[in-house]
A and B are shown apart, each in its own frame.
Chain A
Amino acid sequence: TQLLEQSPQFLSIQEGENLTVYCNSSSVFSSLQWYRQEPGEGPVLLVTVVTGGEVKKLKRLTFQFGDARKDSSLHITAAQPGDTGLYLCAGLEYGNKLVFGAGTILRVKS
């Protein structure tokens, strides 16, 4: 099983600040996904990136897939308290298995 390193593990920021979460691996994934999870609920898909170098935007969230398809980043602009949650990156191995990073707990204080 391939490994995904996600950082930082915990982030506490003030409302309005920007932040970036990183997801890195030494292996290539066929695609990479970002999820957000609220306490006591299952993860909810935010985005899937498939092509190396791909950039996707979802309102204040910007997702990037590395050229070599081994790393990805999530950038949030002007964070709001509603962005608080657990963010998970997950790489799809060839063979249908989804490998999760350790997760980033984000807390945005008002």
Chain B
Amino acid sequence: GAVVSQHPSWVICKSGTSVKIECRSLDFQATTMFWYRQFPKQSLMLMATSNEGSKATYEQGVEKDKFLINHASLTLSTLTVTSAHPEDSSFYICSARVGIAYGYTFGSGTRLTVV
């Protein structure tokens, strides 16, 4: 089945530094990938839609200069949290759609802790 690989699975960084999260589609091409943020015991909130070869579309209230998204190839999208602060600590998840029958395939998520 379609697999989305997300890396790293967890990261701890110092306040003010930047962190890059990678999302790869392993056995299919994903022209569109989605980035979500999830707080403990809460649902997923869509942050942005990543489109291969073009600029990402950000949801209302999401700072595009803080959450940089790059989708340079059909199998890789990256999310960079710039100048991270403790309030950016969260669980970040990427996903890609694999047709109607398979729904959306999600990465395993990245637990970001900013200290």
Contact = CB atoms under 8 A, between A and B. Distances in A.
B41 A105 contact: yes
Nearest to B60: A1
Contact of A96 (B4, B45, B97, B111): B97
A45 B109 contact: no
B104 interface: yes
Interface residues of B, number: 27
Nearest to B105: A45
B28 to A, nearest CB: 15
B25 interface: no
A40 B109 contact: yes
Contact of A42 (B32, B41, B43, B106): B106
A2 B5 CA distance: 29
Interface in B56-115: 59, 91, 93, 95, 97, 100-109, 111
Interface string A68-92: 0000000000000000001010100
A40 B59 CA distance: 24
A41 B108 contact: yes
Given A41-B109, A103-B43, A33 B103 contact: yes
Nearest to A4: B43
B42 interface: yes
Contacts of A7: none
A100 B44 contact: yes
A103 B36 CA distance: 15
23 contacts: A6-B43, A33-B103, A33-B104, A40-B109, A40-B111, A42-B109, A43-B93, A44-B106, A48-B100, A48-B101, A48-B103, A86-B41, A96-B32, A97-B34, A97-B46, A97-B49, A98-B34, A98-B97, A100-B43, A100-B45, A103-B41, A103-B42, A105-B41
Interface of B: 4, 6, 32, 34, 41-46, 49, 59, 91, 93, 95, 97, 100-109, 111
Closest 7 CB pairs of A and B: A42-B106, A45-B103, A103-B43, A100-B43, A33-B103, A48-B103, A100-B44
